[in-house]
Amino acid sequence: MKEESVLSAHPVSDEMRATVLQNLAALEKQHDVKVLFACESGSRGWGFASPDSDYDVRFIYVKRQPWYLTVEPGRDVIEQPISGELDINGWDLRKTLQLLKESNPTLLEWLRSPIVYQQDAEWVARLRTLAEDGFSPVRGYHHYVSMAKKNLREHLYGEVVCYKKYLYVLRPLLAARWIREGRGVPPMRFAELAMQTLTDRAVLAEVNALLEVKMRAGESATSPRWVGIHNFIEAELAEAMSFAPDKWPKADARLLDQYLHDAVLHFGAET
């Protein structure tokens, strides 16, 4: 199936990219950290942003060596108050690796984002390898099925629904199908998920129609229930809930420890 058969867009203007980089540089200076990686994590990364969608910037950073050598651990996140349409926050590398050890699906999505604002290519490539090698189908599958079930229950049973909520159910359902089919870590881009997992052309056509409207409408725009998509979601969720993925070994903690050790020595040395 050709890529253009599923609508997708990742709009970030040069002006906004410069604003993001300025904010990251200011955070590095304010908190005395090194940003290893920064990406777009929300609907712009998924490929179905509305004109008024926020910019959800997420980053991974390393602090100075002494911070890692205290008896009481320090705060391991940096959070900026939301300013206009910019939502930016990050995780310390040790927290990141702790989550990676548990095959955290959110972290895996960050590392597969099609919108990367800043990265140290060599170190991030090594981090991605650790993430891929330690991927747990069990953790990922349960995460996506639970997300789809929750969003369906909370948002899609009214006669009038928000466009974007359909996509917040479809995306995790298709990610679960990706895992169920033995494909490994699901891609972040919704178009890639849809193109490689959906075979029903009627469903694809309705999904494309939904995407076209959602990408033109505001974040809070609503419509009457989309019957074809709703029926597909309920059938797909029933199938997803009847499947149990095979057990999988956890990531090798020694490799994660080594990465943390190497990165803190490299980036965190006092100068």
DSSP letters, 48-85, are B--TT--EEEEEEEE--GGGGG-SS----EEEPPPBTT
Same domain, 100 and 191: no
221-262 pLDDT, tens digit each: 999 999 999 999 999 999 999 999 887 777 789 999 999 999
For residue 255, is it within any domain? yes
Looking at the fold, whether 128 and 10 belong to one and the same domain comes out as yes
Domain span at residue 10? 3-134+251-267
| Nearest to 185, CA basis, from 243, 252, 128 | 128
Distances (CA, A) of 104 to 17, 66, 256: 27, 27, 14
Residue 188 near residue 108 (C-beta atoms within 8 A):
no
Residues 154 and 31 in one domain: no
Sign of CA dihedral 104, 125, 116, 133: negative
Q: How many domains does the chain have?
A: 2
Tell me the pLDDT tens digit for each residue of 196-222. Answer: 999 999 999 999 999 999 999 888 899
Please tell me the pTM assigned to this model: 0.93
Is there a single domain that holds both residue 111 and residue 215? no
| Residues 256 and 124 grouped into a single domain | yes
- Does residue 246 sit within a domain? no
Tokens of 84: 């206009």
- CA–CA dist 5, 126 (Å, integer): 33
131, 111 contact by CB (below 8 A): yes
